A = this chain, B = another copy of it.
Amino acid sequence: MKDQFYNYIQQLQDTITSKLESIDGKAKFREDHWKRPEGGGGRTRVIENGNVFEKGGVNISAVHGKLPDSMQSYFGVEDADFFACGLSLVIHPKNPMVPTVHANWRYFEMYPSAAIRQAQLDTLRTGSEKKIIDQWFGGGQDLTPYYLFEEDAKHFHQICKNACDKHNPDFYPNYKTRCDEYFYNAHRNEARGIGGLFFDYCKASDGMSMENWYNFVTEVGNSFLEAYVPIVEKRKDLPYTKEQRDWQEIRRGRYVEFNLVHDKGTLFGLKTNGRIESILMSLPPHVQWVYDHHPEVGSEEEKLIKVLQNPREWV
């Protein structure tokens, strides 16, 4: 399964980056390969200063080794080895009428630690191959607009729902709700964006084998470009003012707050000694913090905030 999924995200990275480059028409993704000292590494692709995309990263990584102490308590295990691979992307467009998008699809395996395997070998003579203790998929995709075009929100969610419905009619409502709950800036009492899908710990169970989960997760991965690209095409050439650009930069500050204060993915990267520039590629290029900023009553900016304070059903 880990080889199958890693092959998939390698191809998906190619598909997504070549499509985004063709839309941008100017900037190209720069590619960096990196190694994690404790095991594994990744292939980071970052685009900057394009016609359409001001900054974006589409990264894959596969890391393995001893589960860091800080993650052991998180997963409630005492001593284990792990393997994790995934694709993470964050795209910050230049035009404030085009939403920022984030997506991630990941696979995780946990094994008895080398020490435990040795102990088993010593006492039970049961062999020392790595047995999987636990394995699961996680991921999702979500949209963060600076100006709310309801038809864009509906389109994004409709594509998410279509991908889910092929597998289970409960998936979309469940994972839509979890997305609203997860991407929430509790200290601001508002959602980061207008949501999408978020799922985690997707494990083999009665109805779903790991192969079924693989099919679901890749279905969502395959839907990404269909969910995002039409919105980019429709909004990328809209005119905008300096005030609208300022608003985008202020809202990007909320994005930074979420990623650095609340996001478990960022935390996981920092705690597993991931490559810092690959983890923090998610941070926007130009950002503002203005003291006690509030949009004008009745403005488009206020309309967005109200939706972020009270997540809506879009389909």
Chain A residues with CB under 8 Å of chain B are 30, 32, 46, 48, 55, 57, 187-188, 249, 253, 256-257, 260-261, 270, 276-277, 280-281, 283-292
A276 touches B55 (CB 8 A): no
Least CB distance, A180 to chain B, in whole angstroms = 20
Number of copies: 2
A187 touches B270 (CB 8 A): yes
B285 touches A288 (CB 8 A): yes
A291 touches B55 (CB 8 A): yes
With most chain B CB atoms within 10 A of its CB, the pick from A48, A280, A289, A290 is A289
30 contacts between A and B (CB under 8 A): A30-B291, A32-B292, A48-B290, A48-B291, A55-B289, A55-B291, A57-B291, A187-B276, A188-B276, A249-B286, A253-B283, A253-B287, A256-B256, A256-B260, A256-B287, A257-B260, A257-B280, A260-B260, A261-B261, A261-B270, A277-B292, A280-B289, A281-B291, A285-B288, A285-B289, A286-B286, A286-B288, A287-B287, A287-B288, A287-B289
| Closest B residue, CB atoms, query A253 | B283
A188 CA / B270 CA spacing, docked (Å): 10
Contacts of A30 in B (CB 8 A): 291
